[in-house]
Amino acid sequence: MSLIEALGLKKTYHTGEVGVEVLRGIDLEVGQGEFVAIMGPSGSGKSTLLHLLGGIDVPSAGRVILDGEDLSTLGDDGRTLLRRRRLGFIFQTFNLLPTLTAEENVALPLELDDVPTPEARERATQVLELVGMSHRRDHVPGKLSGGEQQRVAVARALAIEPLMLLADEPTGNLDSANGQQVTALLRGLVDEYGQTIVMVTHDAAVAALADRLVQLRDGLVVSDGQPMAVLPKHCAVYGEERVG
Amino acid sequence: MILWRYTIREMRHRPGRTTLTLLSIVIGVAAVVAVTLCGKTTRRAYQEMYESLAGRTGLEVVADGPGVRADDLVRALERLPGIETAVPTIQQTTTAYHEGQRTRVLIMGVDTEREAAIRDYEIQEGSLFQDGHGAVLESGFAENLGLRLHDEIKVLTRRGLKTTTVTGLIKLRGVAGFKQAGVVMIPLEDAQRWFLRRGYVNTINLVLADGASADELTEAVQKLAPPGALVRTPVARTKLAAATMASLEQGLKFAYGTTLALAMLMILNTFLMNVKERRRHLAVLRAVGATRGQILSMLLREGLLLGVVGTVLGCLAGVVGAAQLMKVMGGVYEADLPKVQFDLASFTVAAVLGPLMALLATYIPARQAGQVTPLEALRPLVSDDAAQMPRWFIITSVLSYVLAGALLASSIAGWLPVELSIPVGVAFMVATVPLAVILLGPLVRLTAIPVRQWLGVEGALACRQLLRRRARSALTLGVLVLAIGTGIGLGTTITNNIDDVRAWLRRTHAGDFFVRITIGDPSEDRRADIPEELGDEIRAIPGVWGLSSLRFVNTQVADQPVVLVVQGMTKGQPAPFNLIEGDPDKVAQQMFDGEAIAGTVLAQRCGLKVGDEVELSTNAGPRRVRIAALANEYLVGGLVLHMEREATRRLFDIGGVDVFMVKAYPVERDAVQARLRELTRQHGLMLYSFAELSQRLEGMLNGVVGSLWGLLVLSFIVAGFGIANTLTMNVLEQTRELALLRVVAMTRRQVAKTVLAQAFVIGLIGAVVGFGSGAVTAWIISLTMAPLLGYSIAFALHADLVLGCLVLTLVIVLVAAWIPARRATRLELLEALKYE
């Protein structure tokens, strides 16, 4: 059974008089415990698709159904609560609040949901330990390396025990060593805890670690399958990329 | 809790931004407090000027004959709400003797504990009394009589001649010296013993609290007063003071309204920038689950916290600022400005207003922040507001402007109550701010043409930057426009008002010297005439080329107490009036024919027009008189009728002289003065020169002008701080962009020039638009005053005031931009590129 389902998703952005159709009708299903990578050239609509799946943005047409709930029926506050309680986000630029410590950043979504501070902190400590960052929990983001910041961001996403993790180029701002660490962490979450992850990436090596690779082009799905089956075609079309 | 922690950390993390935001509230609150305090001081200076013409007593209880028992009545009167102090006095006309000289004097028995409330003099020598006895005289009067300190003076009383010692010499303030010169003050107990009975008085002067209405209190006082006692407004104190004060009130209310708007705009602008700078963080909060309501309440809490802290600091800054400013202005104008008056009400208003202003100003950016979509967290750069302006904003702005304009037009046309004119005027001025947002593009592009020529690429970049942050630029512009508009508007109004007083003085006081009775106010009943034959003696003095006389008679027009001023005029000479209506060429002849000139306030209150007839109650019974003209009149109230001397003698059998006005050839002036002094000593009269009169009046006018400039300087200081604040915030916001410009080879000097050019362009546009709105404001105030004064004070723009304001604006703007420009040049490039 699918955890999230996109049906005929379309999205058009309007810049002045001109409308740009970014997604032109996407159908996609992601099952529980699945690790899906989305690839595609710039402007193909992969980030937009991720935003629609996470309720960050609303589609111009089509529907997103998460765990049986149609996101189009929710208002802004409804979608906010959905993000707060059921979805975890990981951004390319980490997006940690610079004035809060690692632990406070991780506890943030819980405290926003009125979880008592001691309880939220305890949970934050647990997930920081899970991502190997408990020793740095009192540090503010400015004192952490890029890799460490991204691991804290992963911890923040995990703190709420989300149904699904949405990651937008999580390794895009990291060097290869740190990138590998973060990718391994994500893979581990799927393998050990059955975490569902949808990840946008440019990096074929990162995509290769996913269970499934969806390739977009001009707002449409052009391929969907096992990474090893899709990647050779991808490399042929978009050039050599590092795999494995 | 976490959001509160985040707020506190954010404030500590960006001390510059927090300080600037806090500073905007401090400046805003300080401005409101200082304007309130300086406004009170200006109001006081103005009031003192008119009180010196009309006396501080708002109401008086007069009981002739045996008088009234004072103690219980005074206590009962002071319990009445609206009465500040009740001062019992005895006023008695009698004769005083000194070394064979005899003169008519007004004995004034004063209660030493209470007389300070109506005191209008300063002690020059000696003291008020010694051991509860003695006499105090006006120094000029004493000099005329040849009296010095410790000399003895004899006074004719009901118990025969009594001797007392001169214990003090006083100088009467302002124009009071010309009205009350022949007064001998003695202790109340002595006066009671000599003229009435112990515990009795014949007058109780009532000083009213600010804002209390004499009309409303009269009835309550009458109920307490014993039968036969008369409760009245002192004759010399007319509604004119209130009416002319209304002009100042309008100006001060306008200053208060615009300062409030200015403070709001400044705080709003800073908060907008503050929130805009944090947009990305707010988007992250939204992405991880903060609702719009949570963001809104977080920012409102922050606004409230800063509002409370800013209010406390602002109150302190306002008090210190107002006191210092008034001190400086008093020094500059060599005027004795009233002390800044502190009262709980000003601070209570500020205490409520400060946090409220901060909350209101935070609400818009906070609401905007609530609208931030989580998507913005995912974008590499925060978008700016250069995007197309929403249509609703354009429509609302234009509609607000049109609506405010229509209300203003209705107010000028008299379709709306006059009280609404100032709020409507302020609303109109504030409505120009959103309009400025719309017009900013064309205005900046227009200014960019010369600026590009003068300042090159930096000027062009500055214009682009201003247009890129359209809302912020327009709000900064709004702060400037309001400050300049208030400065020019208020300055022009009060300068025109004061010019009007000066013009009246020049026109109506047609004499080099004034010879007058020694006692009492000429307009009051207790007085003695000057022997009419003295006129011939004065005329015979070599060097005298003109002589006219005045006689003041109390009468009534349509139940309105009026002073009939009987004027001795010379045929062929122009009539010495500041005519508002009537034919100046014919008016003198019309007066010889028995027609009258009415003061504008009287005309306004009784609905009189040129050509109307009024009925006067005279000793010879009621008489009808035609109004030949209307004249502006400040002295002896405005409830005045002027008539020619021979005509009144013929029609009403009124003779006698209270004042002679003497004109002398300039080269003979000293000799004439010496001869006049001899004559006045002989006859026990007083002598004043026009120079003395105008010097005293100038002294008081300077007091008002000094306070006014204090207010103007204040509004410019506030604007200066506001601009410095917003420009510094502006540079903070542009940190990354300025760093990019430096990376692509812009020198530090060029960066500074770009920042200064932004300030210059805003200053230039602000100066031009502010000048327009200020001139319109002054014109509107002058129009709305007409219904109160009965005539329009001549409207004129003063080149020095306008030029001064414009130059001051550019200087302040450039000085204000200096600190942010310096900051911009010292940016650490790598740090600045990472700034978020």
Highest mean pLDDT among B433-447, B487-501, B581-595: B581-595
Answer whether A100 sits within 8 Å of B5, measured CB to CB: yes
CA distances in angstroms from B329 to B27, B318, B337, B694, B702, listed in the order given = 21, 16, 8, 21, 10
Size of interface A-B (CB pairs under 8 A): 83
Q: Do A95 and B289 touch (CB under 8 A)?
A: no
DSSP code string of B77-115 = HHHSTTEEEEEEEEEEEEEEEETTEEEEEEEEEE-TTTG
pLDDT at position A3 over 60: yes
How close, in Å, is residue B398 to chain A by CA atoms? 23
Q: How far apart, in whole angstroms, are the C-alpha atoms of residue A103 and residue A152?
A: 8
In this complex, is the C-beta atom of A56 within 8 Å of any C-beta atom belonging to chain B? yes
Among candidates A47, A80, A104 on the partner chain, residue whose Cβ is nearest the Cβ of B2: A104
- Tell me which residue of A108, A100, A111, A101 sits closest to A138, measured CA to CA: A101
> Can you read off the two tokens belonging to residue B423?
């709020």
> What confidence category does residue B321 fall into, taking pLDDT thresholds of 50, 70 and 90?
confident
d(CA B124, CA B231) in angstroms, rounded, equals 34
Q: Are B754 and B461 in contact (CB under 8 A)?
A: yes
Distance CA B318, CA B37 (A): 8
Separation in Å, CA B448 to CA B387, B456, B467, B471: 20, 10, 11, 18
User: Of B618, B606, B663, nearest to B643 (Cα)?
Assistant: B618
Do B5 and A168 make contact, defined as CB atoms within 8 angstroms? no
Number of residues in chain A? 244
* Residue among B273, B197, B245, B235 nearest B14 (CA): B273
Residue whose entry in the numeric block shows the structure tokens 């007004």: B106
Question: Are the CB atoms for B594 and B651 separated by under 8 Å?
Answer: yes
What type of residue is B14? Answer: R
Backbone dihedral angles phi then psi of residue B577, each to the nearest 5 degrees: -130, 155
pLDDT at A244: 36
Least confident range from A133-137, B280-284, B620-624, B730-734: namely B730-734
* Residue B833: burial class (beta carbons within 10 Å; 0-12, 13-18, 19+): middle
DSSP letter string, B636-661:
T-S-EEEEEHHHHHHHH----BSEEE
Which of A198-212, B18-32, B577-591, B645-659 has the largest mean confidence?
A198-212
* Contact list, B374 vs chain A (CB under 8 Å): 56, 83
Q: Is A118 on the interface with B (CB under 8 A)?
A: no
pLDDT band for position B446 (50/70/90)?
confident
Closest in A89, A104, A168 to B288, CB measured? A89
CA-only gyration radius of chain B, Å: 33
Helix (H, G, I), strand (E, B) or coil at B702: helix
pLDDT, one tens digit per residue, over B664-699 is 888 888 899 889 888 887 776 778 777 777 776 677
A51 touches chain B (CB under 8 A): yes
Q: How many other CB atoms are found less than 10 A from the CB of residue B590?
A: 21
| ipTM of model | 0.78
Residue the block writes with tokens 């060593």 = A177
> Three-class SS of residue B202?
coil
Report the gap between the CA of B390 and the closest CA in chain A (Å): 11
The pLDDT value recorded for residue A138 is 92
B391 part of contact set with chain A, CB < 8 Å: no
- Cβ(B818)–Cβ(B629) below 8 Å: no
| Mutant choice from B2, B4, B835 vs A, greatest count of A C-beta within 10 A | B2
| Spatial distance between the Cα atoms of B63 and B237, rounded to a whole number of angstroms | 19
Closest alpha carbon within chain A to B388: A16
- Does B375 sit within 8 Å of A57, measured CB to CB? yes
**Cα–Cα dist A209/B422, whole Å:** 72
Tell me if chain A has a CB within 8 Å of the CB of B289. Answer: yes
Q: Best-predicted range by mean pLDDT among A87-101, B318-332, B815-829?
A: A87-101
CB proximity list for B366: less than 8 A, separation 6 or greater: B271, B275, B295, B296, B299, B300, B303
Query: Rounded distance, CA B422 to CA B431, Å?
Result: 14
Q: Nearest C-alpha of chain B: how many angstroms from A229?
A: 30
Quote the percentage of chain B above a pLDDT of 90.
2
Distance from CA of A188 to the nearest CA of B (A): 23
Query: DSSP label at B151?
Result: -
Task: Please say whether the beta carbons of B723 and B816 come within 8 A.
Answer: yes
Residues of B in contact with A16 (CB under 8 A): 388
Instruction: Tell me the CA distances in angstroms from B287 to A51, B246, B290, B295, B299, one per residue in order.
Output: 10, 57, 7, 12, 17
Asked if B378 and A83 come within 8 Å (Cβ–Cβ), the reply is no
Q: Which of A83-97, A229-243, B303-317 has the lowest mean pLDDT?
A: A229-243
Those of residues 159-198 in A touching chain B at CB distance below 8 A are 160, 168
The Cα B221–Cα B210 span in angstroms is 17
In this structure, which amino acid lies at residue A87? L
Residues of chain B found within 8 Å of residue A57, distances taken between Cβ atoms: 373, 375
Alpha helix (H) residue ranges in B230-343: 239-277, 279-287, 292-332
Which of A17, A81, A108, A140 to mutate: most B Cβ within 10 Å? A108
Judged by CB atoms closer than 8 Å, whether chains meet at B289 and A51 is answered as no
Phi, psi of B180 (to 5 degrees): -120, 30
Q: What is the mean pLDDT of chain A?
A: 87
pLDDT at A146 > cutoff 80? yes
* Weakest mean pLDDT among B11-15, B33-37, B54-58, B380-384: B380-384
Give tens-digit pLDDT for B606-650: 788 888 888 887 666 778 889 999 887 765 556 788 888 888 888
Query: Could you give the CA distance from residue B375 to residue B284 in angstroms, rounded to a whole number?
Result: 9
d(CA B836, CA B828): 14
Instruction: Look at phi and psi of residue B835 and say left if phi exceeds 0, alpha if psi is from -120 to 50, else beta.
Output: beta
**B159 and B151 Cβ atoms separated by less than 8 Å:** no
Both tokens of residue A81? 């609560």
pTM: 0.60
B835, closest residue in chain A (CA to CA): A98
Q: Is the pLDDT of residue B55 over 60?
A: no
B431: left (phi over 0), alpha (psi -120 to 50) or beta: alpha
Residue A5 pLDDT exceeds 90: yes
Using 50, 70 and 90 to split pLDDT, how confident is the model at A162? Answer: very high
Cβ–Cβ contact B295 with A under 8 A: no
Residue B545: which of B500, B595, B510, B594 has the closest Cα?
B510
CA B379 from chain centre, in angstroms, equals 55
**pLDDT(B175) > 60:** no
In whole angstroms, give the CA distance from residue B517 to residue B656: 11
**What gap in Å lies between CA B307 and CA B314, rounded to an integer?**
10
- Predicted confidence at residue B240, as pLDDT, reads 41
* Residue A157 tokens, joined: 């996403």
A243 lies within 8 A of chain B by CB = no
Q: What pLDDT is attached to residue A31?
A: 93
Q: Are A203 and A244 in contact (CB under 8 A)?
A: no
Q: Is the pLDDT confidence value at B251 over 50?
A: yes
3-state secondary structure of B615: strand
The sign one gets for the Cα dihedral B3, B7, B9, B10 is: positive
B484 to B257, B262, B779: CA distances (angstroms): 14, 11, 15
pLDDT of residue A39: 93
Confidence of residue A156 (pLDDT cuts 50, 70, 90): very high
Selected for mutation to probe chain B from A13, A15, A53, A99 (highest B CB count within 10 Å) is A99
pLDDT in tens, A115-141: 898 999 999 999 999 889 999 999 988
pLDDT in tens, A24-38: 999 999 999 999 999
Residue, of B371 and B26, whose pLDDT is higher: B26
Instruction: Name the A residues in 63-82 with CB < 8 Å from any B CB.
Output: 76-77, 80-81
